[in-house]
Amino acid sequence: MMEHFGVLAVVLLIATAVGAQDTSSNYLLTGHSTPLASSFAHQFFTLASQSAELANRTNTQVIQTYEDRNYDDELCDRDINLIRDSINNLEEWALEFPDTWGRLPMGLFWGHTISMGQYEECVAASSTHTTEIRGQYCLASLNITTFYQSVKKRGEEFSRISYKQTDPEVFELGICVPKTCSAAKTEKLLKYAITHFYGQDVMESNYTMVTEARCKYDAPIELRGIDIFAIIFFSLIIFFMVASSVYDYIQTRKGAPKKPLLIAFSVLTNAPKIFTVKKVNNPNVIHCLNGLRCFSMMWVVFGHGYMTFYDLPHINKNKFYTWVQTPYSMLVQNGSLCVDTFFFMSGLLMCWGAFREMERTKGKLNIPMMYFHRYIRLTPVVAVVVLYIMSLYKYSGAGPMWFKLGTQDKRCADTWWATLIYVQNYAFPYSICISQSWYLAVDTQLYFLSPLFLIPLWKWGKKALVPIVIVLILCLGGTFATFMLNDFTLFRVQDDQVDLRQRLTYYPTHTRIPTWLIGVIFGYFLFTRNRGRQIPMSKPLVLTGWFVAFGTMLACMWGPYWRILPDTPDSPLIEGAFFEPLSRTSWALSIGWIVWACYNGHGGLVNDFLSWGFFTGFSRLCYCMYVIHRIVQLVNAARLQTDTHFSNYDAILRWWHDFGITLTASIFATLAFEAPILGIEKAIFGKPAPKKPSPGELAKAAPVAATSASAEPEPEAKPESVVETKTEIAPVPTNEENPSKA
């Protein structure tokens, strides 16, 4: 029986001709595989009509509903009979139904396990008779497990692929039936067609081929309450932007004063704050942070792009299993190190900004206002993306891939609230609403914990470093123990428990504290020992520092590469347990050297490049880019209705595609949400900038050896309304010296 089922799967998948009639007259469109009477798609309607006759005799007709869809078995049978008769009469409208079915699965043995057919043609299909018949597209799943088990593998299969390649279990086939047919009815007809050719014994009766969630027909859009709210909200935002810009323009022409609240949404005011770049020689500015932030942001989009790229309907999907063995793939497999760059900068800037505030207030820190300002600066853009996902997102695309990838709204249905209070990394680690927002949750939680480290550092100086280092080591030990207890491997692609690994070692705040604390410690020493002056160092020491830093980063990135090669034995568990925490801390220390060397004039060309003015403007968009980019990637991928090709070149093309749309959307989001919130906040809570303390005052104010100003990505000299956002919290720690305003 199992052998018969394997034969069935192959025959069905390659749309083998059926029937004994002469098919010479049917070779009209191709010379080798006709889509006319000899194809399974066409014969399905003849067989379905036979099934309908049997159902009528046994009175098994039912009426079903699913969401807003109504199904009627009797109408389904009527429509199928009419389609069958019209196909036999070669009527174009009826031929469109079988014409849209998936056909030959090219590259089946290279992992191409989907034949989508023609979605748009199916849902647009309609009868020309008085009886209305509309097409309904379904993505059916056919079990091919038995067939693949019977295939005799080539001898070198396992030597050329180190990552666990498993045989596919399902082939997905696009089919088109009348919209009056429910998924259950369609599955019954499909199974009847298979049984007709291959007998009762070959059909696995418990396997579900067709589900309502993967069927769709063209229906009028019925807006829900949240959809209407979203449309009104976005319309109001655009109206505010236009009205505020007009007011700004009129007042500028008149030379009249402007009310801050009325120009909060003005594009004329906010756009220059993004795109105007002024080179400022200010000790409060660490220019190289802008370049580090921008490159890390591009790396994040690059890595997430490959995650989405893998899920596309590639005709050569099995190339992935050899791709993971290439040195180039390490940029993706170890790409999460860029997140540690963000955590390091977050800790550094948070410490620096808090110390400047405590210096101004003689050691006091307004913790409630510090939390409040941080929340209202982070949340608007996140809330807008959540609103879009839960409302207009479902109208952003359709098709077979949308069934598979366009499911973000379902993830948000129960978890949106956790995202808005930044606890999603613990509350819903398996279904985070905005998947990459786990970082915002971790960074926000660290920001809320920061007074536990800042106040002791301010009061007791270096003495407070001892318990901080102990906490750092304990957290490193916790990650090590988690790896050992759960048998996690060196590479995620080789792990059998990737989701559990993410929940226990990637998302939790306690596993991210070490790199953040390294940033805090660097910030402390930069503020107390290095602020406003450059520490001289001999050229040999500088070269040694750069050599060690780059060597460490290369080791973190490509050090374990040899372990994934086919002829290399798998790494012992203890190797992965050591590598995970130590590689992240080593990376953070190397980033620390880059920041220190660039700030002290030892950066050379590296500092010149990272401090390029272009990165200053770009960095002001990074927060919105981080929040938005993943949904852009998923929408672009889910809208696909054709096959793709897996290669690095194709992935880079898609990266530029996603990056460009993300950048455009981020400019709008910054002008529409982020910058206005900063303007409103400044108008309500803003205070005059404090007078710069003299060196003598600095020495009195801080219980440590302070020498000069501060070091943030861009302070007073930069446009505050955009740059002050989310200083230490988001992937764009921007310039904010006052944590009570962060």
Query: In terms of domains, do 479 and 455 share one?
Result: yes
Q: What's the length of the chain?
A: 742
Residue 131 located in a structural domain: yes
In the 8-state DSSP scheme, what is residue 30? -
- Give this prediction's pTM: 0.85
Residue 108 located in a structural domain: yes
Query: In terms of domains, do 515 and 609 share one?
Result: yes
Residue 321's CB is within 10 A of a number of other CB atoms, namely 17
Residues 162/143, Cβ–Cβ less than 8 Å: no
Residue that is last in its domain, among 685, 701, 734: 685
Q: Is 740 helix (H, G, I), strand (E, B) or coil?
A: helix
pLDDT band at 145 (very low <50, low <70, confident <90, very high): confident
Q: Is the confidence at residue 33, as pLDDT, over 70?
A: no
Q: Is the confidence at residue 60, as pLDDT, over 70?
A: no
CA 570 to CA 538: how far, in whole Å?
44
Report, as an integer, the average pLDDT of 512-534: 92
CA 22 to CA 27: how far, in whole Å?
11
Predicted local confidence at residue 24, as pLDDT: 37
CA 582 to CA 242: how far, in whole Å?
51
The alpha carbon of residue 213 and the mean position of all alpha carbons in its chain are separated, in whole angstroms, by 23
Report, as an integer, the average pLDDT of 536-550: 95
Query: In terms of domains, do 407 and 556 share one?
Result: yes
Residue 712 located in a structural domain: no
Specify which residues 314 forms β-bridges with.
644
Query: In terms of domains, do 474 and 489 share one?
Result: yes
Comparing 229-243, 264-278, 682-696, which segment has the lowest mean pLDDT?
682-696
Report pLDDT digits (tens) over 73-98.
889 999 999 999 999 898 999 999 99
Query: In terms of domains, do 553 and 600 share one?
Result: yes
Residue 43's domain spans which residues?
35-217
The percent of residues above 90 in pLDDT, for the chain, comes to: 60
Please give the structure tokens belonging to residue 721: 């309304």
CA 283 to CA 19: how far, in whole Å?
83
Report pLDDT digits (tens) over 458-474.
999 899 999 999 999 99
Q: How many CA atoms lie within 13 A of 415 on its CB side?
A: 23
Query: In terms of domains, do 61 and 210 share one?
Result: yes
Query: In terms of domains, do 502 and 374 share one?
Result: yes
Report pLDDT digits (tens) over 568-619.
877 889 999 999 999 999 999 999 999 999 999 999 999 999 999 889 989 9
Closest Cα partner for 579 from 547, 557, 602, 597? 557
Query: In terms of domains, do 86 and 165 share one?
Result: yes
Higher pLDDT, 164 or 606: 606
Tell me phi and psi for residue 702, to 5 degrees.
-105, 140
Residue 555 located in a structural domain: yes
CA 164 to CA 318: how far, in whole Å?
11
Count the helices and strands in the chain (H runs, E runs). 32, 6
Query: In terms of domains, do 460 and 442 share one?
Result: yes
Complete edge-to-edge strand list for the sheet that includes strand 114-115: 114-115, 170-178, 135-143, 215-217
Query: In terms of domains, do 257 and 302 share one?
Result: no
| Those residues with Cβ within 8 angstroms of residue 355's Cβ, 6 or more apart along the chain or in another chain | 454, 458, 523, 524, 527, 528, 702, 710
Sign of the torsion angle spanned by Cα atoms 167, 169, 174, 175: positive
Residue that is last in its domain, among 655, 685, 715: 685
In the 8-state DSSP scheme, what is residue 634? H
Residue 112 located in a structural domain: yes
Residue that is last in its domain, among 217, 233, 251: 217
CA 374 to CA 380: how far, in whole Å?
11
Report the amino acid identity of residue 173: L
Comparing 123-137, 336-350, 507-521, which segment has the lowest mean pLDDT?
123-137
Report pLDDT digits (tens) over 617-669.
899 999 999 999 999 999 999 999 999 999 999 999 999 999 999 999 999 99
Tell me which residue has tokens 């995620």: 492
Q: How many domains does the chain have?
A: 3
Q: Is the confidence at residue 262, as pLDDT, over 90?
A: yes
Angle CA 494–500–502, to nearest 5: 80
Report, as an integer, the average pLDDT of 365-374: 91
Residues 546/597, Cβ–Cβ less than 8 Å: yes
Query: In terms of domains, do 235 and 119 share one?
Result: no
Report the amino acid identity of residue 48: A
Closest Cα partner for 627 from 500, 415, 441, 450? 441
Higher pLDDT, 698 or 49: 49
Residue 536 located in a structural domain: yes
Residue 708 located in a structural domain: no
Predicted local confidence at residue 701, as pLDDT: 39
Predicted local confidence at residue 197, as pLDDT: 64
Residue 636 located in a structural domain: yes
Predicted local confidence at residue 547, as pLDDT: 97
Q: Which helix (H) or strand (E) holds 138?
A: strand 135-143
Query: In terms of domains, do 252 and 373 share one?
Result: no
Beta pairing, strands 170-178 & 114-115: parallel
| Those residues with Cβ within 8 angstroms of residue 580's Cβ, 6 or more apart along the chain or in another chain | 479, 480, 483, 488, 505
Report pLDDT digits (tens) over 281-339.
777 778 899 999 999 999 999 999 999 999 999 999 989 988 988 999 999 999 999 99
Predicted local confidence at residue 104, as pLDDT: 67
Angstrom CA distances, 574 to 142, 484, 487, 570, stand at 41, 7, 9, 12
Q: What's the mean pLDDT when you consider all of the chain?
A: 83
